[in-house]
Amino acid sequence: MTTDLTRPDVGKTTRTRLRTEGLQVGYDDELVVGADGGLDLDVVEGTVTAVIGPNGCGKSTLLRAMARLLAPRHGHVLLDGQRIDRMPSKQVATVLGVLPQDPVAPEGLVVADLVARGRHPHQRWFRQWSPDDEAVVTEALAWTGTSEFADRPLETLSGGQRQRVWISMALAQGTDVLLLDEPTTFLDLAHQVDVLDLVERLHRERGRTVVMVLHDLNLAARYADRLVAMHDGRIACSGAPADVLTEQTMRDVFGLEAKIVEDPVSGTPLVLPVGRRQRERDDSDS
Amino acid sequence: MREAGVLTTARRGFRAGPVTGVWRTRAVLVAVVTAVLLVLVAAVNLGRGDFPIPVTEVVRILLGGGDPADAYIVTELRLPRTLTGAFVGAALGLSGALTQAVVRNPLASPDILGVTDGASLFAVASVVLAGGAGVSGLAVSPVGTPIAALAGGLVAAALVYVLAYRQGLDGFRLLLVGIAVSSAAVSLTTYLLVSANVQQAGQVLTWLRGSLASRSWENVVPAGLVLAVGLPLAIVLAFRLAALELGDEAARGLGVRVDRARAGVVGVAVVLAAVATACAGPIRFVALVVPQIMLRLSGGSRPPLVGSALGGALLVVAADLVARTVLGEAVPVGVVTVVVGAPYLLYLLVRRTRRRTV
Predicted local confidence at residue A13, as pLDDT = 61
Q: Which CATH number fits the domain that encloses residue B85?
A: 1.10.3470.10
Give A93's contacts in chain B (Cβ within 8 Å): 253-255
Instruction: Please state, in angstroms and rounded to a whole number, the distance separating the CA atoms of residues A160 and B63.
Output: 59
Give B299's contacts in chain A (Cβ within 8 Å): 108
Dihedral sign computed on CA atoms, order B163, B169, B173, B176: positive
B249 and A108: CB-CB below 8 Å? no
For B313-357, the pLDDT digits (tens) are 999 999 998 888 887 766 778 888 888 878 877 887 777 655 544
ipTM, interface predicted TM-score of the complex? 0.86
B301 and A109: CB-CB below 8 Å? yes
Predicted local confidence at residue A3, as pLDDT = 43
Lowest mean pLDDT among B30-39, B109-118, B332-341, B347-356: B347-356
Report the number of distinct structural domains present in chain B.
1
Q: Which of B2, B249, B258 to probe by mutation at the A interface, max A CB count within 10 Å?
A: B249
Q: How far is CA B227 from CA B125, B148, B270, B272, B310, in A?
A: 27, 20, 12, 7, 11
End-to-end Cα separation, chain B, in angstroms = 46
Nearest CA among A66, A63, A167 for reference residue A114: A167
Choice between B358 and B158, residue whose per-residue pLDDT is larger? B158
Nearest CA among A26, A63, A86, A38 for reference residue A177: A63
A117 and B236: CB-CB below 8 Å? no
Cβ atoms of B71 and B210 closer than 8 Å: no
pLDDT (average), residues B150-163: 91
B6 and A125: CB-CB below 8 Å? no
For A37-81, the pLDDT digits (tens) are 899 999 999 999 999 999 989 999 999 999 999 999 999 999 999
Minimum distance, in Å, between the CA of residue B316 and any CA atom of chain A? 28
What stretches of B213-281 show up as alpha helix (H) in DSSP? 217-244, 248-253, 258-280
Instruction: Please state, in angstroms and rounded to a whole number, the distance separating the CA atoms of residues B56 and B103.
Output: 44
Predicted local confidence at residue A11, as pLDDT = 45
B7 part of a folded domain: no
pLDDT at B40 over 90: yes
A118 and B5: CB-CB below 8 Å? no
B54 part of a folded domain: yes
Predicted local confidence at residue A213, as pLDDT = 96
pLDDT category of residue A285 using cuts at 50, 70 and 90: low
Give A66's contacts in chain B (Cβ within 8 Å): none
Q: How far is CA B141 from CA B127, B155, B195, B357, in A?
A: 9, 22, 21, 52
Asked if the C-beta of B132 comes within 8 angstroms of chain A's C-beta atoms, the answer is: no
Predicted local confidence at residue B2, as pLDDT = 38
Predicted local confidence at residue B323, as pLDDT = 85
Nearest CA among B320, B290, B240 for reference residue B109: B290
B4 and A138: CB-CB below 8 Å? yes
Nearest CA among A184, A110, A195, A99 for reference residue A154: A110
Asked if the C-beta of A129 comes within 8 angstroms of chain B's C-beta atoms, the answer is: yes
Asked if the C-beta of B242 comes within 8 angstroms of chain A's C-beta atoms, the answer is: yes
pLDDT at A115 over 80: yes
pLDDT at B229 over 90: yes
B20 and A128: CB-CB below 8 Å? yes
Provide the CB-side half-sphere exposure for B179 (13 A, CA).
Answer: 7
B176 part of a folded domain: yes
B97 part of a folded domain: yes
Minimum distance, in Å, between the CA of residue B74 and any CA atom of chain A? 39
Asked if the C-beta of B17 comes within 8 angstroms of chain A's C-beta atoms, the answer is: no
pLDDT, chain B, mean: 83
Question: Taking a contact as any Cβ pair under 8 Å apart, which residues of chain A between 233 and 252 contact chain B?
Answer: none
Above pLDDT 90, what percent of chain B?
Answer: 30
What residue numbers bound the domain in which B249 lies?
13-330
Predicted local confidence at residue B353, as pLDDT = 57
B172 part of a folded domain: yes
pLDDT at B132 over 60: no
Give A148's contacts in chain B (Cβ within 8 Å): none
Instruction: Please state, in angstroms and rounded to a whole number, the distance separating the CA atoms of residues A84 and B202.
Output: 61
Instruction: Please state, in angstroms and rounded to a whole number, the distance separating the CA atoms of residues B246 and B33.
Output: 30
Above pLDDT 70, what percent of chain A?
Answer: 94
Please tell me which residue of chain B has the smallest CA distance to A124: B239
Residue in A104, A120, A135 nearest the CB of B243: A120
B18 and A127: CB-CB below 8 Å? yes
pLDDT category of residue B5 using cuts at 50, 70 and 90: low
CB pairs under 8 A between A and B: 118
Cβ atoms of B249 and A99 closer than 8 Å: no
pLDDT at B12 over 80: no
Contacts of B14-17 with CB under 8 Å at 24 or more apart are B14/A129
Lowest mean pLDDT among A182-186, B68-72, B153-157, B169-173: B169-173
Choice between A143 and A1, residue whose per-residue pLDDT is larger? A143
Asked if the C-beta of A117 comes within 8 angstroms of chain B's C-beta atoms, the answer is: yes
Instruction: Please state, in angstroms and rounded to a whole number, the distance separating the CA atoms of residues B327 and A181.
Output: 59
CA A20 centroid distance within chain: 16
Asked if the C-beta of A73 comes within 8 angstroms of chain B's C-beta atoms, the answer is: no
C-beta atoms surrounding B31 within 10 Å: 22
For B172-224, the pLDDT digits (tens) are 788 889 999 999 999 999 998 888 888 777 777 877 877 787 777 877 888 89
Give A138's contacts in chain B (Cβ within 8 Å): 2-6
B353 part of a folded domain: no
Radius of gyration of chain B (CA): 21
Q: Which of B25, B172, B246, B260 to probe by mutation at the A interface, max A CB count within 10 Å?
A: B246
Choice between B59 and A230, residue whose per-residue pLDDT is larger? A230
The SS3 assignment for B22 reads: strand
Minimum distance, in Å, between the CA of residue A275 and any CA atom of chain B? 38
Asked if the C-beta of A212 comes within 8 angstroms of chain B's C-beta atoms, the answer is: no
pLDDT at B138 over 50: no
For A7-42, the pLDDT digits (tens) are 444 445 678 999 999 999 988 778 899 888 899 999
B254 and A68: CB-CB below 8 Å? no
Asked if the C-beta of A3 comes within 8 angstroms of chain B's C-beta atoms, the answer is: no
B78 part of a folded domain: yes
Asked if the C-beta of B27 comes within 8 angstroms of chain A's C-beta atoms, the answer is: no
Instruction: Give residues with Cβ within 8 angstroms of B140, minimum separation 6.
Output: B126, B127, B130, B131, B203
Choice between A126 and B273, residue whose per-residue pLDDT is larger? B273
Predicted local confidence at residue B139, as pLDDT = 39
pLDDT, chain A, mean: 88
Give A69's contacts in chain B (Cβ within 8 Å): 249, 252-253
pLDDT (average), residues B278-284: 86
Minimum distance, in Å, between the CA of residue A150 and any CA atom of chain B? 7
What b-and-e string marks burial along A214-248, b requiring 16 or more CB atoms within 10 Å of the CB? bbbbbbbbbbbebbbbbbebbbbbbeebeebbbee
Q: Which of A110, A122, A130, A165 to probe by mutation at the B interface, max B CB count within 10 Å?
A: A110
B254 and A121: CB-CB below 8 Å? yes
Question: Taking a contact as any Cβ pair under 8 Å apart, which residues of chain A between 172 and 211 contact chain B?
Answer: 173
B339 part of a folded domain: no
Asked if the C-beta of B5 comes within 8 angstroms of chain A's C-beta atoms, the answer is: yes
As beta bridge partners, residue B165 has: B169
Instruction: Please state, in angstroms and rounded to a whole number, the distance separating the CA atoms of residues B177 and B349.
Output: 19
For A186-218, the pLDDT digits (tens) are 888 998 998 999 999 989 988 899 999 999 999
Minimum distance, in Å, between the CA of residue A270 and any CA atom of chain B? 34
A129 and B13: CB-CB below 8 Å? yes
Please tell me which residue of chain B has the smallest CA distance to A117: B243
Instruction: Please state, in angstroms and rounded to a whole number, the distance separating the CA atoms of residues B71 and B58.
Output: 8
Q: Which of A87, A117, A211 to probe by mutation at the B interface, max B CB count within 10 Å?
A: A117
Nearest CA among B95, B97, B87, B96 for reference residue B317: B87
